[in-house]
Structure 1
């Protein structure tokens, strides 16, 4: 099985197709299968690279080391392993955070960014009592996250997506309680990572999407991020929550293929 190694941590990845490399970074608490409905479409004209983030799927699950900069180094290790110099990096939620960090600390690996439902410095949007609850009530936290992550339309018309996420969230082979807590507590982890003032340094084409019904990352946070990146485009997707590639896969695929076909990419 293909692994890249970063500071002793094994990172699992898979590649499909050939052409312009496209890296797909899944959200926290899922795995590479999050992108199942994108891989075939993209692999017809592009080299698709899907990664199990540290602490997820078949990648190692160390007790610490879940800062966004370290997760970005993991992606860099994968790109070195596959021999690709520059890639279009697509990320949802924490995957988008990692993509931005990679563009800042290792711009030589990033050709363009596609950011979905992500922000920076999320702490102001998440009450301290909620953070405490996330750490003390593991199961309840995931129930809350799941309910708030999907639009009402998705929950009503596509219950299979809810069931899929519910099963993945609770699969210990996918991630562990310890890795989840470590990511919350890290000083540069999901809620504490703040590079808003540095986003003006990103010079690659950037495309930002926000779900109109996303309760996990507020629309205001995504809009603020898009305004901070020079010349970034911003699109609000109606009837979509936190997981655009899952909730409206065909529409997302059209958007992404259109981006990949633009002359600047």
Structure 2
């Protein structure tokens, strides 16, 4: 894999890793606050058999962090422009959380480009009939205002050294029994140095807030109605046990032409790719092979 800086037609520069291959393309899209390095444990399963493209989404990692425009449609357009710049006309998309949302937007706006879509995310809205919170317009508005206050109160820690930053980040993972070697390089990629020499998270508060506030208004059913490709839904055990999520997921699945569902009995949403990279990656690669060989979904 080589790392590139690609300046797109919209003048945004996206950082990405790619390999040299003429085979079918697979693009990996990370979760909110993540970087391309979340996929380190998964990529060895794909590098020899596919053209692999792994970007840092706008506002993340080493990619540009513009002042605004953090809607998933903006990020999906970045991915489209990146793929076209690399000469890619068709691609399988694997998305985690935010990455699933961006992949869904890309599949809806450019259905001829996306051969298949893996959604580990984008299975419920935040508000409304297919959301986690439903109520009157006033109740929803009140809830958004409360959540906005919480967003504004978020404090990003600053440290005097990179080692201190990494030690704190690692201690939180250890405390939650998540730590393993796959998290090491990923955590290293999340560190940013400020102009005054301190170390903090690459995921700026203004970027996080801008994304989340647009996320609240998303209705994923509008996107699923437009896509043409097969979809694999990766659902955590906790999500499967939530009746609001199963209600929305069932409806979203009814809107697509073909889909498969895998319940991940172990692993946390988004982090599962680093907790169990081989097992999760093999399930996804099997799905892509089934699409490629048979142009249809088979049971995984």
Same-fold call, TM cutoff 0.5: yes
Question: Does the aligned pair in 2 maintain the 1:16–1:39 contact within 8 Å?
Answer: no
Question: Does the aligned pair in 1 maintain the 2:46–2:285 contact within 8 Å?
Answer: yes
**Cα distance, 1:53 vs. partner?**
0.1
**Cα distance, 1:132 vs. partner?**
3.2
Report the CA distance shift for 1:85/1:166 in structure 2 as closer, same or farther (over 3 A). Answer: closer
How many residues are aligned here? Answer: 251
**Cα distance, 1:184 vs. partner?**
2.4
Q: 3-state DSSP class of the match of 1:111?
A: strand
Match runs of 1:15-26 below 5 Å: 15-18=18-21, 19-26=23-30
Mean Cα displacement is larger for which, 1-10 or 166-175?
166-175
Report the CA distance shift for 1:135/1:227 in structure 2 as closer, same or farther (over 3 A). Answer: farther
Q: Does 1:92 align with 2:96?
A: yes
Mean Cα displacement is larger for which, 168-177 or 254-263?
168-177
Report the CA distance shift for 1:122/1:157 in structure 2 as closer, same or farther (over 3 A). Answer: closer
* TM-score, with structure 1 as normaliser: 0.82
Q: CA RMSD in A?
A: 3.0
Q: 3-state DSSP class of the match of 2:176?
A: helix
Whole-angstrom distance in 2 between the partners of 1:108 and 1:114: 16
Question: Does the aligned pair in 2 maintain the 1:6–1:77 contact within 8 Å?
Answer: yes
Q: 3-state DSSP class of the match of 2:27?
A: strand
- 1:137 corresponds to which residue? 154
- 1:56 corresponds to which residue? 60
Identify which of 225, 242, 257 aligns with 2:252: 225
- 1:29 corresponds to which residue? 33
Whole-angstrom distance in 1 between the partners of 2:9 and 2:118: 24
- 1:258 corresponds to which residue? 286
Report the CA distance shift for 1:227/1:136 in structure 2 as closer, same or farther (over 3 A). Answer: farther
**Cα distance, 1:21 vs. partner?**
0.2
Question: Does the aligned pair in 1 maintain the 2:154–2:205 contact within 8 Å?
Answer: no
Q: 3-state DSSP class of the match of 2:42?
A: helix
Report the CA distance shift for 1:245/1:223 in structure 2 as closer, same or farther (over 3 A). Answer: farther
Q: Does 1:195 align with 2:220?
A: yes
Question: Does the aligned pair in 1 maintain the 2:180–2:275 contact within 8 Å?
Answer: no
Which ranges of structure 2 fall in alignment gaps of 5 or more residues?
A: 134-142, 158-168, 193-199, 296-300
Question: Does the aligned pair in 2 maintain the 1:25–1:50 contact within 8 Å?
Answer: yes
Mean Cα displacement is larger for which, 109-118 or 88-97?
109-118
Which ranges of structure 1 fall in alignment gaps of 5 or more residues?
A: 141-145
Q: 3-state DSSP class of the match of 1:261?
A: helix
Mean Cα displacement is larger for which, 167-176 or 226-235?
167-176
Q: 3-state DSSP class of the match of 1:240?
A: coil
**Cα distance, 1:166 vs. partner?**
7.0
Q: Which has the larger radius of gyration?
A: 2
Report the CA distance shift for 1:83/1:179 in structure 2 as closer, same or farther (over 3 A). Answer: same
- 2:206 corresponds to which residue? 178
Whole-angstrom distance in 2 between the partners of 1:122 and 1:161: 30
Question: Does the aligned pair in 2 maintain the 1:64–1:182 contact within 8 Å?
Answer: yes
Encode CA deviations 1:93-143: one digit per residue, 9 max, x unaligned. 010011111111111221110111333532342653345312322449xxx
Structure with the largest fraction of helix: 1
**Cα distance, 1:167 vs. partner?**
6.9
Identify which of 99, 104, 107 aligns with 1:103: 107
* TM-score, with structure 2 as normaliser: 0.73
Report the CA distance shift for 1:164/1:31 in structure 2 as closer, same or farther (over 3 A). Answer: same
